[in-house]
Each structure stands twice: as structure tokens, then as C-alpha cells.
Amino acid sequence: MTEYLEFSFKIAPLQPWSEILMAELIEIGFDSFTEELDGILGYIPEESFNENSLKSLPLMSAPEVKISYTYQQMPNINWNEEWEKNFSPINIEEKVLIRAEFHEPRPDLHEIIIQPKMSFGTGHHPTTHLMIQQMLDMDFTDKKVLDMGCGTSVLAIYAKQRGANEVTAIDIDEWSVENSIENAERNSVQLNISQGTAESLGAESYDIILANINRNILISDIPTYVSVLKDKGQLLLSGLCFFDVEDILQVCNEQGLKLTHQQQREEWCSLLLEK
């Protein structure tokens, strides 16, 4: 069983920085968190931890916030059981319910059933919630869809359920790919799931691209997304804080994309753009 390290991060002020720190920690291998009154507890496999990567995170040297941490080795824990204890259903606008198999069904709502394990994308995080909210008003019928950084593939599954003809889901993390395959089977949908990055994209083109990642990866990869996005195609982005929007829109404008809808939840934003 994998040995884990538990980090106790003290954050002042707590908001909005705790959510932003969690987003950055995910990028260096942290895979679960618990919120505390004065910070967060973060967990990472011991073999994945690199202290230089942690100290190099942008937020660790940001003047607006003070962050300190201590850590300890954790005893062996069944992390899937921990997920089950802490994963509650997510109801999005009384239209979509994201739940696990052990939750009570809601036949009156559109349901997506996932077993999150260690993958990112349960709907609890505001960015996943924002993506689903924006997708409520989008037309997926017979569309070809790409979900980049798919995590649990909850977005890819919803796109397929909404009538997409073909859906490709890609994530850099092997664990997410395995979890996505399982979740697709749970929801009886066919997805093209693979491990990779934007560099893995070939000559295929898409009507809709979903990318809930983070600012730096989006800035780097938006030109690639545009290159495989069909004319009049839609690009839906999240993983962004409100202060990232200007930089992201600058890159989008340079690529000929037009902003059609912007939405915010807490300090997080999502952008719907058209080519």
C-alpha cells in the first residue's frame, strides 16, 4: 500500500488562497485535502514528493499571502474508503446530480455516477461546478468533443449523455485514466480515453473542447486547442481565478477566439469562447 505524507499548511489570510493553493498542489502530486480553520491538510504519496517543487509554487512566494507548513508520514490508509466517507452528492441547479453508487438516486435529476478515488473532478471544486453549469446551456447533439485534463471524466460523461457523437478524454495522470475508464462503464457511455497532454493531439478536429486545468497549462496549450477546434467551435475553460482572466483572454484574443460567456463562483471563473 502506498505510503503517504500529511502536510499541514497554515494560510493567512485563508480566503481566497486556500482554494488556489490546493489547485497548485494538485499539479505537483497532492491528491486529497481536508479544510481546517486556519489552513488545509494535504496528502501526497511519499514517492511523489519533491520539496523543491513545493517551495517553487507561485503562491509560496506571493506577497499577498503567508503560508507555512509542517509534514509527517501517515500510517497506511485505505484512501478509497476515505473518499467514500467524505464524498457527498453534488446538486447543480436542481438539474444535474453527481453522486456515487452508494448514494440515494434522484430520478427527477440528470445523474452522473462516479467513484472519484484520487482523481480530480467530483464537482465539489467550484471549477468543475462551473464547467457543468456552462454545459447546461450548450448543444452537444452529434458533436465531437474533447475533454482535456479529464480527471474523473465527469465532464466527458456528461457531454456524451447530452448527445455528443464522439468524446475523447485525455489526462496526464495514469490514475485518472484508469478511473475514467471505470466511470465511463458505470454510466454506460463510450469514451475514447487515453493518457497524454496537448502534445498528444493529432490531426483530429473537434466541435467542443473542455479544459478545466490551470492558468499556466492553459496559456501554454490554448494555441494547440485552437489548432484542433473547428470553425465556429466552442472552447470552455476553467481552473482560473478571477485575476487570471485578463491574461487568458489576451491569449485567446491573439488566437482569434471570441468570449461569449463568463461565469464566476467564489474566486473561480469559467470562460466560454468561440472560434
Q: What is the side-by-side strand order in the sheet with 90-92?
A: 90-92, 96-99, 110-113
Residues 6+ apart with CB under 8 A from 177: 171, 193, 194, 195
What is the rounded distance in angstroms from the CA atom of residue 143 to the CA atom of residue 151? 21
Q: 149 a known binding residue?
A: yes
Q: 122 a known binding residue?
A: no
Q: 31 a known binding residue?
A: no
Identify the burial level of 106 via C-beta atoms within 10 angstroms of its C-beta, where 0-12 means exposed, 13-18 middle and 19 or more buried. Answer: middle
**Are the C-beta atoms of 183 and 153 separated by less than 8 Å?**
yes
Q: 171 a known binding residue?
A: yes
Residues 6+ apart with CB under 8 A from 100: 84, 87, 89, 113, 114, 115, 116
Summarize the annotated binding site for S-adenosyl-L-methionine as residue ranges. 128, 149, 171, 212
Summarize the annotated binding site as residue ranges. 128, 149, 171, 212
